[in-house]
Amino acid sequence: VPPTSSIGFEDVSTTASAAKIPPGYRGLDWENVGVMHRSCWSGSGFERGIVSGDYVAFNFGGDPCSISSTAPFSVAGLQATAAFHMGLNVLFESFD
């Protein structure tokens, strides 16, 4: 992924249903991460995580997920939201 590139998810799925983000998408390994159209769970809170476009990434089943790579990469920004429940905590960890 180029250093100034943004990752959107419009090219992962073209349906309103949930789809798994495939390994190697945009040069990263996605474990337990899915993508869905904003209309899939309207009113759930997922749509608040959409900054642009019509798709949002999420962790399947609320279970832990990871985004990794054998090559170094940086995250300059991220929009996170909770779905179905208020007051949830989000933990982000980075490892060298």
Q: What is the mean pLDDT of residues 65-75?
A: 89
CB 18 within 8 A of CB 35: yes
- Say what the pTM is: 0.77
What are the tokens at 23? 């390994």
* Residue 1: pLDDT band with limits 50, 70, 90: low
Q: Cβ contacts of residue 89 below 8 Å, gap of 6+?
A: none
- Strand, coil or helix: 70: coil
pLDDT digits (tens, 9 = 90+) for 2-14: 556 788 788 888 7
CA distances from 30 to 25, 39, 56, 84, 94 (A): 8, 23, 14, 23, 15
CB 57 within 8 A of CB 9: yes
pLDDT digits (tens, 9 = 90+) for 28-66: 999 999 988 877 777 777 777 777 788 888 888 888 999
